[in-house]
Amino acid sequence: MLVNSKAMLNKAKKENYAIPATNFIDLDSARTFVTVAEKLNKPLILPFAQAHKDLISLEEAALIGKYLADKVSVPVALHLDHGEDFAFIKQAIDLGFTSVMIDASKESLGNNIKLTKEVVAYAHQKKVSVEAELGHVGAGTNYENHETTDSIYTEVKDVEIFLKETRVDSLAVSIGTAHGAYKGTPVLNFERLQEISKICEVPLVLHGGSSSGTNNLNRCATSGISKINIFTDFLQAAYRKNKDGKPKDYLEMKQLANQAMAEVLESCYKVFATKDV
């Protein structure tokens, strides 16, 4: 069932759990994620990142997401992840994406507000929900969403101003995670999360969930985070499954990769304490 993300995230915020946002890069990964959600009777956010437009086109991603969502009974939001410019985000909305993210987190607060308001104005008239990022979640590698950058914590004083000015439906915050793969387990600033959660009326989002540690992610999911993005964990699990399984051909390789990604998502639903639909 294709829906926007607003209702499912508001429910998650109210009931203190998080919904996995599982970035897909092809039909196999998207189908695996939707199949697991249907099997477990869980909601799903199915994101496609602008940075992955050279792997499959935005048009292909829209067709895949809408087709798969319409085949299941659980709510699935087709989400544009890390939209970098208004033209691309508008195209995603016009193609049928039900949720979009404008990532102007590397801009000044004023420019971030300006760019986000432009997206919100267009998206809301199409009944599409909008996520923005305040602070900046950096990248540990350059193959997830953007080039390697350092993280900048979300400033509590900016949150109320940003929400009042933009009217976004959800807010991605930076509390110590990073995109991509990195060594060790990050130390998350739960004090900052608590401060933000107290004053934030909209659901909060955590990017860079991969490699962040199950205890950290469970605590986030039950302490104010309503959506957690996962991507690298799926890639690494698929790689390990193939390395250990020694597939005999390409078909078996794909089957092992799908199995590995399904196992990761099932684990995420448990760690994030995601409730049934």
Q: How crowded is the C-beta side of 112, counted as CA atoms within 13 Å?
A: 24
- pLDDT, tens digit (0-9, with 9 covering 90-100), for 107-124: 999 999 999 999 999 999
For residue 173, count CB atoms less than 10 angstroms from its CB and return exposed for 0-12, middle for 13-18, buried for 19 or more: buried
Residue 68 has, within 13 A of its CA and on its CB side, a CA count of 28
Query: How many Å apart are CA 168 and CA 257, to the nearest integer?
Result: 36
Q: Give per-residue pLDDT as tens, 64-107.
A: 999 999 999 999 999 999 999 999 999 999 999 999 999 998 89
What does pTM read for this prediction?
A: 0.92
Closest CA to 80 of 258, 204, 229, 276: 229
Model confidence at 142, in pLDDT bands (50, 70, 90)? very low
How do residues 31-70 score in pLDDT, each as one tens digit? 999 999 999 999 999 999 999 999 999 999 999 999 999 9
Residues carrying an active site annotation? 81
Strands 225-230 and 19-22: parallel
Whole-angstrom distance, CA of residue 113 vs CA of residue 118: 9
- Opening angle at CA 68, ends 67 and 74, nearest 5: 125
**pLDDT score at 139:** 61
Residue 120 half-sphere exposure toward CB, CA atoms < 13 A: 19
Three-state secondary structure of the chain: CEECCHHHHHHHHHHCCCEEEECCCCHHHHHHHHHHHHHHCCCEEEEEEHHHCCCCCHHHHHHHHHHHHHCCCCCEEEEEEEECCHHHHHHHHHHCCCEEEECCCCCCHHHHHHHHHHHHHHHHHCCCEEEEEECECCECCCCCCCCCECCECCCHHHHHHHHHHHCCCEEEECCCCCECCCCCCCCCCHHHHHHHHHHCCCCEEECCCCCCCHHHHHHHHCCCEEEEEECHHHHHHHHHHHHHHCCCCHHHHHHHHHHHHHHHHHHHHHHCCCCCC
The encoded tokens of residue 154 equal 């979300």
In this prediction, residues 174-182 reach a mean pLDDT of: 69
Token pair listed for 216: 């950290």
pLDDT on residue 171: 97
Whether the per-residue pLDDT at 146 is higher than 60: the answer is no
Confidence of residue 218 (pLDDT cuts 50, 70, 90): very high
